[in-house]
């Protein structure tokens, strides 16, 4: 069972749109904050900056409820699936116990010098599955 990492979000005034709630696009930046924290704490920061990086192949997000400026919001990030060449991350934006949006991201291991994908390294697997 993979670990769930929780990251509190610091909202910015410009995240709020004319409907007085956090814009959908700003919610995507919240998921990004969760991912970067996940790389830092669990997967290893070299996946952001090294030769062998992780890139986003696809994302799918469901918006279930609004997030207001005053709502304390946090993002949870966990690894849902490890495939041969990809990792699926599951993330939620939560206010209290309510899920306000949920996003799945398929991340691909990518060699920036060779400009092609490569199998998920064993070292990544171990860190993803560690308790």
Residues at the site binding a second copy, with contacts judged by CB under 8 A = 9-10, 12-14, 16-18, 20, 23-26, 28-29, 32-33, 35-36, 48, 55-63, 69
Q: Which of 1, 25 has the CB closer to a second copy?
A: 25
The beta strands (E) that lie in the chain are given as 4-8, 52-63, 74-82, 86-95, 98-111, 116-117
Q: Across the strands, what pairs with 51?
A: none
CB of 25 to a second copy, least distance (A): 5
CB of 125 to a second copy, least distance (A): 23
Q: Which of 73, 128 has the CB closer to a second copy?
A: 73
CB of 40 to a second copy, least distance (A): 10
Q: Which of 30, 124 has the CB closer to a second copy?
A: 30
Whole-angstrom distance, CA of residue 69 vs CA of residue 109: 35
Q: Name which of 31, 43, 40 is nearest 109 in CA terms.
A: 43
CB of 63 to a second copy, least distance (A): 6
């Amino acid at each position: 069972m993979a670990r769930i990492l929780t990251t509190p979000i610091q909202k910015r005034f410009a995240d709020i749109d004319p409907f007085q709630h956090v814009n959908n696009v700003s919610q995507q930046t919240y998921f990004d904050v969760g991912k970067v924290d996940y790389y830092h704490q669990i997967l290893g920061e070299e996946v952001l900056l090294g030769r062998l990086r992780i890139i986003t192949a696809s994302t799918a997000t469901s918006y279930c409820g609004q997030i207001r400026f005053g709502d304390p919001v946090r993002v949870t990030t966990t690894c849902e699936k490890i495939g041969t060449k990809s990792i699926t991350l599951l993330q939620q934006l939560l206010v209290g116990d309510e899920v306000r949006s949920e996003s799945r991201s398929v991340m691909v291991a990518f060699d920036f010098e060779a400009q092609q994908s490569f199998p998920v390294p064993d070292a990544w697997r171990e860190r993803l599955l560690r308790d």
